[in-house]
Amino acid sequence: MSVQSICMGNHVETSPIAAARPRGIFSFVWGVVATALSAIWTMFCAIGAAIGGTLGKHHAVTVVTRAWGRGIIAVCGIRVEIEGLENLAGLKSFVMVANHQSFFDIFALAAYIPGEPRFVGKKELLKIPIVGYAMQHGGHIVIDRDAGGQAIRKAVKVIKSGFDMCVFAEGHRFNDNRIHEFNDGGAWLAILCKLPAVPISISGSGGFFPRGAKIVVPGGTMRIRIGKPISTEGMRSADRTELTRRLEEAVRASFTTEV
């Protein structure tokens, strides 16, 4: 089991069918303003999250992160439709396993998923001023592939401390409006921590910040569908391939290209 398989992708993979929505001058100006305001809001919230994480105030980090996600979604005029929140009722902690189309997936999950959501990301995120520090100290898992088992042990420790972890199982961001093959890292973490694995499909977010874009494409709708949690009770590490298959099938079944 490699550390790479539980990493959240920062690279983007696309196919020729992916295309940005056409925009007029109003949309372009809105996009420029929204991008600038989002960057400012990100740095402001990162400072708050960094302070909260340093002081060990992890719930405060969650509150700040939720405000961060909602602020960006609001200024960009994105409508988020969520289905299946009832499937999380009664769960103390869980591992979310989702597809990944754009950074807006993170904003929306951070904003609207109840509990204490955290994310798995690559060590390159540490290079972002303040944001990297906030992630490292706020309960998120920043994976260093060279750290091997140490990184995995840290992930397990964070999850067992009461956080809900999100793993983007495709390994990269794909904005071609398709589901790609899942890695088994999310399933493996759920089994190792003896937590329910929750399949989540995210549709419609790929066009908000397409490949090569410098500014956001504002407006539009994205849809999050939360599936029924899959119990890992009695599962062993060897069962992660089968669990990954079940999670991928659930995400594919609820994913839609019509948003």
Q: Does the residue 148 lie in any domain?
A: yes
Q: Does the residue 48 lie in any domain?
A: no
Note the residue count of the chain. Answer: 259
pLDDT of residue 23: 67
Q: CA 147 to CA 157: how far, in whole Å?
A: 15
Q: Does the residue 32 lie in any domain?
A: no
| Per-residue pLDDT tens over the stretch 101-145 | 998 999 999 999 999 999 987 777 777 888 888 888 888 887 766
Q: CA 239 to CA 23: how far, in whole Å?
A: 47
Kindly state the helix (H) or strand (E) to which residue 47 belongs, with its residue range.
helix 25-54
Taking 90 as the threshold, does the pLDDT of residue 258 lie above it?
no
Q: Residue 177 sits in which domain range?
A: 3-11+78-127+140-254
Q: Does the residue 99 lie in any domain?
A: yes
Q: CA 224 to CA 186: how far, in whole Å?
A: 18
Confidence of residue 150 (pLDDT cuts 50, 70, 90): low
Q: Does the residue 49 lie in any domain?
A: no
Taking 50 as the threshold, does the pLDDT of residue 13 lie above it?
no
**Would you put residue 255 in left (φ > 0), alpha (ψ -120 to 50) or beta?**
beta
pLDDT of residue 148: 55
Q: Does the residue 28 lie in any domain?
A: no
User: Across residues 205-229, what is the average pLDDT?
Assistant: 91
| Per-residue pLDDT tens over the stretch 45-82 | 999 999 999 999 999 999 999 999 999 999 999 999 99
CA 10 to chain centre: 11
pLDDT of residue 155: 78
Q: CA 108 to CA 81: how far, in whole Å?
A: 10
Whole-model pTM: value is 0.87
- Number of folded domains in the chain? 1
Q: Does the residue 38 lie in any domain?
A: no
Structure tokens at 221: 């709708």
3-state DSSP helix/strand/coil % of the chain, to nearest 5: 45, 15, 40
Taking 70 as the threshold, does the pLDDT of residue 11 lie above it?
no
Q: CA 6 to CA 15: how far, in whole Å?
A: 23
Residues ≥6 apart with Cβ < 8 Å to 238: none
Q: Does the residue 93 lie in any domain?
A: yes
CATH number at residue 169: 3.40.1130.10
Q: What is the identity of the amino acid at 136?
A: Q
Taking 70 as the threshold, does the pLDDT of residue 253 lie above it?
yes
